[in-house]
Structure 1
Amino acid sequence: MAHQSTHETVDARRIEVIAPNFKRRLSGVTTTIVQLVPAQRADGLEIAALGPGLPRHLPKLRYRDLWRLRRPPQARAQRVWHARRNTEMVGGLVLRDVLRMPLKLVFTSASQRHHQPFSRWLISRMDYVVSTSRKTAGYLERPSTVILHGIDLARFRPPGEKFAAKRAVGLDPNRKIVGCFGRVRRQKGTDLFVSALVEPLRANPDWIAIVAGRTTEKHTGYAAELRARIEGEGLSDRILFVGEHTDIERWYQALDLFIAPQRWEGFGLTPLEAMASGVPVIATNVGAFPELIIEGKTGIVLPDLEPSTMQEAASRLMKDDGMRAAMSSAALAHVAAHFSVAREVAELRAVYDAVSPPAETRAGNAP
């Protein structure tokens, strides 16, 4: 059997936008690129990723094809280099300012802290800056366009029937389920979730809790301590660690309530994924969470990181079926109206067109 190419073949001369990914390990930035690039290509944009750690189905530009970028694509006066990390901004500057390639540099910032001098200098050299939230924009020293992430609403959607959805992932279909999804580590607040759920689970015997996510070697001790605490509380059969899953959308469909307990987050897609699945959300006040959730309507944004505060919110929603049902309906409508990946794709295309107008636009403006 002939060997097949590991990535979709792209013609470098046609590429209008390059999405560099200079980090081999999976991260939120990588996830964003993996989700967006296929949707952008489906929208008719000639875009390709560049770098390691990318799945096979993604259209990818090879490093050895970079010399072809000396000439602009047919569709635009300059290609757009869309960086999301410092290293990628550096790469774009080398290509544009040292090798004199016809590039426009766009940077998306998700950071919610004051930038170091080198980062500020890099950002100052960009042609256009995008922020992933209003909070992020507040940390920048130059104007930016806020474009909130969207999600694939065809993938994340409510189940046809909740009982069957629970049974499909091997959970008790007669139990109500509260979940926390993400890597098991202190930053993600897994311990806050466990602490907050001890008393509500005792008071509500028809509920169980699940933690879905990977535990890396560095955090195995942390996870072991959590399991020991759960066993000490007599809740080993009520708080379950179910591991990492590539079909995580099926696990959202099994939930009745979702908690995002992070101590820190750059953006955070999990509340959107839960709400798109018809699940109300309790979330800490970090990342973009306050900009994703309508307080009291699609979920609850907690004012602090105290386990007792999370516990009170969880108790309230676990006991009130009517409130959860109302929040579920509101969450579905809210995400459908404002957080589709199609909306994000359209807003990014507007950025690319502003920084490097398409050929037909330039022709139309010619005297």
Structure 2
Amino acid sequence: MTDPAAAYPADRAQRPAPGSDAGAPLVVHVVDRLGVGGMENGLVNIINGTDPARVRHAVVCLRAAGAFQARLTRCDVPVIVLGKKDGKDPAAYLRLWRLLRRLRPDVVHTRNLPAVDMVVPGRLCGATVVVHGEHGRDAVEEDGANRRYNRLRRTVSPLVDGYVAVSRDIQRWMTGTVGLPAAKVRHICNGVDSRRFRPRSDSGAAERGPLPAPAGFAGPDQVVFGTVGRMQTVKDQVTLARAFCRAVEAMPDGRRRLRLALIGDGPLLEECRAVLAEAGLADLAWTPGARNDVPALLQGLDVFVLPSRTEGICNTILEAMGSGLPVLATDVGGNPELVTPGETGLLVPPSDPDALAGAMVRYAGDAALCRRQGAAGRAQVLERFALDVMVESYLRTYEALLAARRRPRRGGRSAVSAAGEAGTP
């Protein structure tokens, strides 16, 4: 295949040379792909929200680009596909090193398990700073206790100047279970665009809009529960489908009152459809697959549900809160950092359809509770989870780590400690 380093970037000759003094510092983000997901959503938001006079960006996708590439609004941000093969591909390290040598980044920022070993070419390419971020764990290490993966993280740790954890739960796992130096690990919570994700009314609580579902799917007398996301094992939408069936059975008028929207695509979609069909409730559910109109879809729900088995910091929870929805989520990962039980939503144990069904019945019988919690969630987003706060936290972290690496260290302080002293939020 063509070496991506050789192909980059003849059409960008007018831009300042990457890493040169003529332009702002260049941050090269190394990810597995730019598919649909919370990590990818956060990365796109950081890039789109950055002043290019302050920090420039480039994205290297190890295996493929993906749908979220189209969400980048900055035309000066290259997205380069390395073409890494599935499984072992030793040549990918050399290709990435060559590419980074050509890009001359100031900062290399790798993300999640698929890119953790890429800190090696990131360090060897001559970048001033190497950062690694953990945004959550997938099915291959759901409990975070995989010895081989955690040993890999510890092995490359001396090459990393700073770590970013998106939740306090992830931060505790990185410093505790994995055993990374606490002084290197910084917590930066995700943020949400509260102008894009907002209620239809000015009350702060959701006023349900129309869903592009079949005619008659949900009228004013129905309560629409819904979720949005990749339909994969860790997201566990099958438990939500089962809980919906039990909630319908538990309410005398459940078939008339309750509706379910399962929005997203993936391996669990057909299993969810089968669960609903077996219960004779397929006509009460809308399963459209992947959609690109999420803000409007959230405005078409009454209650947002997240049945995940594990989470970092869920962007979709923040988007639902920004849309004025109460959030019914599992008590895992970073979810308790976002959802205040009884105030902005409810938390239930993971993989427990009975507990989930009971909470759904409670919401279905209390419209005032939905409005009150939805308005409180919107207020929380405006106060604590603004998008510009997240972007500023990342930019200050990059700037402070660069400054710490470029000046003599005193008393063996880590670069992340120096970053904290420099005023990173």
For residues 13 and 208 of structure 2, the distance between their equivalents in structure 1, rounded to whole angstroms, comes to 37
1:297·1:327 contact (CA, 8 Å) conserved in 2? Answer: yes
Q: CA deviation at 1:10?
A: 4.7
Instruction: Give CA-to-partner distance per residue, 1:256-277, whole Å, 9 cap, x none.
Output: 1011001123332221111110
Please name the residue that 2:28 is paired with: 19
Uncovered stretches (5+) of structure 1, i.e. residues with no partner:
73-78, 363-367
Instruction: Give the aligned residue type for 1:20.
Output: H
Pair 1:60-2:78 in alignment:
yes
Please name the residue that 1:201 is paired with: 248
For residues 102 and 295 of structure 2, the distance between their equivalents in structure 1, rounded to whole angstroms, comes to 40
For residues 207 and 374 of structure 2, the distance between their equivalents in structure 1, rounded to whole angstroms, comes to 16
What is the correspondence of 1:259-338 to structure 2 with a 5 Å cutoff?
Answer: 259-338=305-384
Pair 1:30-2:36 in alignment:
no
Uncovered stretches (5+) of structure 2, i.e. residues with no partner:
1-9, 81-95, 138-143, 409-425
What is the correspondence of 1:151-166 to structure 2 with a 5 Å cutoff?
Answer: 151-160=192-201, 165-166=209-210
Which of 104, 129, 133 in structure 2 is aligned with 1:108? Answer: 133
Q: CA deviation at 1:65?
A: 6.7
Please name the residue that 2:417 is paired with: none
For residues 278 and 95 of structure 1, the distance between their equivalents in structure 2, rounded to whole angstroms, comes to 41
1:83·1:108 contact (CA, 8 Å) conserved in 2? Answer: yes
Pair 1:47-2:57 in alignment:
yes
Q: CA deviation at 1:158?
A: 0.9
2:65·2:79 contact (CA, 8 Å) conserved in 1? Answer: no
SS at match of 1:138: helix
- The aligned length equals 343
For residues 200 and 130 of structure 2, the distance between their equivalents in structure 1, rounded to whole angstroms, comes to 41
For residues 331 and 350 of structure 2, the distance between their equivalents in structure 1, rounded to whole angstroms, comes to 7
Structure 1 range deviating more: 127-136 or 185-194:
185-194
For residues 61 and 15 of structure 1, the distance between their equivalents in structure 2, rounded to whole angstroms, comes to 18
Please name the residue that 1:126 is paired with: 160
SS at match of 2:130: strand
1:19·1:33 contact (CA, 8 Å) conserved in 2? Answer: no
Change (3 A) 1:80 1:213: same
Instruction: Give the aligned residue type for 1:180.
Output: T
Instruction: Give CA-to-partner distance per residue, 1:99-145, whole Å, 9 cap, x none.
Output: 4x242111112346245211112234211111111111112221111
Instruction: Give the aligned residue type for 1:197.
Output: F
Instruction: Give CA-to-partner distance per residue, 1:28-64, whole Å, 9 cap, x none.
Output: 4333222221112368432332335162545127677
Instruction: Give the aligned residue type for 1:185.
Output: Q
Pair 1:178-2:225 in alignment:
yes
For residues 28 and 128 of structure 2, the distance between their equivalents in structure 1, rounded to whole angstroms, comes to 13
Pair 1:214-2:214 in alignment:
no
Structure 1 range deviating more: 102-111 or 155-164:
155-164
Q: CA deviation at 1:227?
A: 2.3
Please name the residue that 1:192 is paired with: 239
For residues 173 and 154 of structure 1, the distance between their equivalents in structure 2, rounded to whole angstroms, comes to 27
Change (3 A) 1:261 1:9: farther
Structure 1 range deviating more: 274-283 or 228-237:
228-237
Which of 116, 124, 145 in structure 1 is aligned with 2:186? Answer: 145
SS at match of 2:260: strand
For residues 127 and 279 of structure 2, the distance between their equivalents in structure 1, rounded to whole angstroms, comes to 62
Q: CA deviation at 1:324?
A: 0.9
What is the correspondence of 1:234-249 to structure 2 with a 5 Å cutoff?
Answer: 234-249=280-295
SS at match of 1:40: coil
Cα RMSD (Å) of the superposition? 3.1
Which of 258, 275, 298 in structure 1 is aligned with 2:304? Answer: 258
1:268·1:287 contact (CA, 8 Å) conserved in 2? Answer: no
For residues 359 and 296 of structure 2, the distance between their equivalents in structure 1, rounded to whole angstroms, comes to 25
TM-score normalised by length of structure 1? 0.82
Instruction: Give CA-to-partner distance per residue, 1:7-27, whole Å, 9 cap, x none.
Output: 998532325142323423614
Change (3 A) 1:10 1:287: farther
SS at match of 1:210: strand
Q: Between the two proteins, what is the percent identity of the paired residues? A: 23
